[in-house]
Amino acid sequence: MILVPFAYGFAWSYIEYFPQHWVFQQNFKIVGGFTPTIKVLAFVISMIKGAVVMYGLWVLISLFHLYEQGQIFKAANVQCFKSLSRTLFLWVAATIITEPLLTLILTMNNPPGLHAIQFSLKSADVTALVVGGILSVIARVMADAQAIEEEMELTV
Amino acid sequence: MPIRIHVDVMLAKRKMKSNELAELVGITVQNLSILKTGKAKAIRFSTLECLCKALDCQPGDLLEFTDE
């Protein structure tokens, strides 16, 4: 979880050495290259998605910690699944927010008329929405399982 | 809980300890404690049968309905 900001920082620090198609699908030109200002601003904006990733990892750590303690159908587990579902929805929202901001920052040094704002919705984003919905249903089912387990625990 | 279980009353009458009763009934002391403290949400007929046998009483001696 702690490595996420370092990974994002490393990626933006050495972005010019990565193959461009790995990093960003761009339909625009970046005039003047990646200046330090662009790198810092791009890092800050991309940390919006990074924060969502860190939150998702923190929820996963909490969930596996509960499993380690033998707690399978408890209220805390249900909350974790709801949080994971929320994380995936937030991931898609973060993608929609960060992509135009990133393109704006990357083209901020371009001459007038060559600034760009890019929006896109990829199949991976739709998949994330679907999986988020499935996790939401799983959380609902687990809430029922939790009620049944509580009743079983108090049945002598 | 409107239904109360008077296990502690019957234990006192029969001069029996909780762990003895738990062993006779075949439940843990913790489960017996759940019964005694009124936290139980349900009781199996098999458990009720064993309690009646161990305490030599009727189900009505153990169970009471109170209109809360």
Q: Rounded to the nearest 5°, which phi and psi values hold at B4? A: -110, 145
Q: What is the H or E stretch that residue B54 is in?
A: helix B45-55
pLDDT of residue A23: 55
Which residue would you say has higher pLDDT here, B16 or A24? B16
Strands (DSSP E) contained in chain A are none
**pTM of the entire structure?**
0.71
pLDDT of residue A114: 75
Going A156 to B4 to B8 to B14, the CA torsion angle's sign is negative
Q: What is the pLDDT of residues A43-96, one digit of tens each?
A: 899 899 999 999 999 999 999 999 999 988 888 999 999 999 999 999 999 999
Going A58 to A59 to A64 to A67, the CA torsion angle's sign is positive
Q: Name the average pLDDT for chain A.
A: 86
Going A93 to A14 to A21 to A35, the CA torsion angle's sign is positive
pLDDT at B55 over 70: yes
Residues of B in contact with A151 (CB under 8 A): 41-42
Q: What is the mean pLDDT of residues A126-142?
A: 93
* CA pair distance A42, A60, nearest whole angstrom: 27
Please say whether the beta carbons of A41 and A103 come within 8 A.
Answer: no
Contact A154 B44 (CB under 8 A): no
Residues of A in contact with B34 (CB under 8 A): 154, 156
